[in-house]
A and B are shown apart, each in its own frame.
Chain A
Amino acid sequence: MVAITPLFAPTSGSLETDKAAALATLESMLAIRAFEEAVDGLFARGLMHGTMHLSIGQEASATGVCSALLSTDYITSTHRGHGHCIAKGADLTRMMAELLAKQTGYCRGRGGSMHIADTQTRNLGANGIVAGGIPIATGAALAQKMRGESNVVVSFFGDGATNEGAFHEALNLAAIWDLPVIFVCENNKYGMSNSTELSMKVEKISDRAAAYGMVGETVDGNDVDAVYQATKAAVERARSGQGPTLLECETYRWKGHSKSDKNLYRTKEEIEEWKAKDPIQRFQETIIGSGLVTQAEVEQLAAKVRDAIRDAIKEATTAPDSDPAELLSSVFREAN
């Protein structure tokens, strides 16, 4: 079992000035980057089945948001969900095992990349349907309110999802019922190949919050502390009964939508321009530059993460393949 433990006790200050928080934040983002790069490599070598939707470049939104949550708060995720899963504290071995179609994977090989959920870290699941998780998050938040619990729910989705009917219905329900849910849109400018310029008339996705009478905010999704601060405010709003927030994190994915993407819809220049705004590099420079941490500490952390990923791959690769014998009996849950 290999996991990167998220913050779970959000600091009242900034991720850039609290040393323990800074290191935990960096570790989380490095783990996401390393995991995704490892998956990319395994896929290129023909060792992984299906396709993958990598979140390289978007680490700050996953880590920034999840760092503002308690371990008892919930998330729903997307087809591009490895980062959310890791940022919430998933076991890297079980994730790798799932992608490698092993019996020890989170879904025992039955779900694959897009359907990983983890009850232990209150991750209600990645989702293969764009916007599929958004009404689910609304419902999970409804349950918290009905039971008088103080947990909040974060719903991750992309810019493309904000054009699905499910988005509109789910946000409206959350608004009218004042539900403790934070709708986090990772706007990476493209719904697969369709750019936000072509797919919507409003300037910012957060403009859509007004349609539901909800608070809407846009932040630089590659500034992990900005994401963290905005999420903390939204969490506070939710937990104190003031209802939902639509939080737009402007970011960019370095890799194509999936493995079959030839990037015909965007330019090399644009990709390079965003790579230069690497959220991890930026955060590293900030916390080293301010003297909060040393270069050596950062390198130590990077080595620790590399080892963790390597161990996860090793453990996962040697696990037994998922077993077809249990297929029929796994459709329904047995009554207690």
Chain B
Amino acid sequence: MTDRIITYSEAVREAIGQAMEADPSVFMLGEDIGIYGGAFGVSGDLYHRFGPERIRDTPISELGIVGAAVGAALVGMKPIVEIQFSDFTAQAMDQIVNQAAKIHFMLGGELAVPMVLRAPSGSGTGAAAQHSQSLETWFAHIPGLKVVLPSNARDAKGLLLAAIDDPNPVIVLEHKLLYKTSGPVPIEPYRTPIGVPDLVREGKDLVIVATGVMVSRSIAAAEQLAAQGIAATIIDVRTLSPLDMTLINQSISATGRVMLVQEAPKHVGFMAEVAARIAEGPALYSLLAPVKRLCGMDIPIPYAPQLEKAAVPQIEDIVAGAVQLMREP
């Protein structure tokens, strides 16, 4: 495979373009994805390459367009719905949770819903509370939905291509701050398997389990920790649902210390599930210290930049958390 450096948003665009070239049943619908190029520039020139039927601008009707995607998927199309901000999935919840997630099960397997819903997620752009949420836990909690959070450009392309192939509804949450980051991405189409966490870095002292933008912050933190003589393993969960704990448990058995890092508010967040599974799993008795969660504050995301930063873990918080964990009990 030929790697070259492109941005996360270019990688997403490339995945959509390659999927659409290969399969005429793939199309995308969303607000301002056509001539505008997408609120975050992701769809870019796809409109010019594929036209207004397949890169389909819609009115501001999240419930309607997600429902339309469900209907199109039921009769064999492979729709991608772009929801402009993940916060707006709230408008579409019936079609996501009561329809897409449940149709295959409720109908005894008679029909399936091969759709992808992708949305920019997370904070750090000063967009404030209603445009900055991390809602992955909502979706991970619903049986019948798959949930992926690509943390880098390579996975952004590979997971999206896998999601488009998947005959089930897949929610893809792309952190806004990642769109302009770059990384090596193969030019050919490829699929990153859904359901497999990624071992990003190996280190004998502790394991940091992270999602979304917290993965790259953890990588930066690990460099600083290494300078202090602390060697961190980093695991990128990447698929929150279905969740495979094998790698996480193995790493805990090897290190004895684990820190779970998410941007979303701590209370009932995704890392609560990871912590529970650690507690009921094979690695429990390897723990030398309690499981540590480093999460967003239990507040809506504030507007002012210093408040917005304080609301979620930053690199220095991850470093401090790891240092503290190494000192316990």
**Interface-located stretch among A24-32, A109-117, A250-258, A282-290:** A109-117
Chain A residue numbers with a CB within 8 Å of B111 are 117, 119, 124-125
**Nearest residue, chain A, Cβ from B77:** A143
Q: Decide if A115 touches B107 in the complex (CB within 8 Å).
A: yes
Contact A135 B112 (CB under 8 A): no
Taking chain A's interface residues, is the majority helix, strand, or loop, or is none over half, making it mixed? mixed
Q: Which residue of A lies closest to B165 (CB)?
A: A335
Chain A nearest Cβ from B180, distance in angstroms? 33
- B27 lies within 8 A of chain A by Cβ: yes
Beyond A143-B77, A335-B166, whether A111 also contacts B104 by CB under 8 A is no
With A129-B98, A138-B64 already in contact, the answer to whether A330 and B72 are too (CB < 8 A) is no
With the chains together, A104 CA to B58 CA distance in Å?
41
As a 0/1 sequence over residues 132 to 162 of chain B, the CB contacts with chain A under 8 angstroms (1 = contact) are 0000000000011010000000000000000
One digit per residue, 1 when the CB lies within 8 angstroms of any chain B CB and 0 when it does not, for chain A 323-336 equals: 00000001111111
A107 contact from B61, B64, B108, B168, Cβ within 8 A: B108
A138 to B81, CA, bound (A): 15
* Interface flag for A23 (CB, 8 Å): no
Residues of chain B lying within 8 A (CB to CB) of residue A115: 106-107
Distance between Cα atoms of A105 and B68 in the complex (Å): 28
Specify which chain A residues have a CB less than 8 angstroms from the CB of B68 in the assembled complex: 135-136, 138-139, 142, 170, 173
Q: Are B63 and A125 in contact, with the CB atoms below 8 A?
A: no
Q: How many residues of A contact B (CB 8 A)?
A: 48
Size of B's binding interface in residues, CB under 8 A = 44
Choose among B75, B94, B143, B167 the residue that contacts A331 (Cβ–Cβ < 8 A).
B143
Tell whether B103 is near chain A: CB-to-CB under 8 Å. yes
With A139-B70, A173-B61 as known contacts, state yes or no: A146 contacts B77, CB within 8 Å: yes
**Could you show 21 A-B contacts with beta carbons less than 8 Å apart?**
A105-B108, A107-B108, A107-B110, A108-B109, A111-B107, A115-B106, A117-B107, A117-B111, A135-B63, A135-B71, A138-B71, A139-B71, A143-B76, A165-B63, A166-B64, A166-B94, A169-B65, A170-B67, A332-B146, A333-B168, A335-B166
B interface with A by C-beta (< 8 Å):
25, 27, 53-54, 58-59, 61, 63-77, 79, 94-95, 98-99, 103-112, 143-144, 146, 165-168
Add 5 more A-B contacts to A111-B107, A139-B72, A173-B64 (CB < 8 A): A139-B71, A146-B53, A170-B68, A176-B59, A333-B167
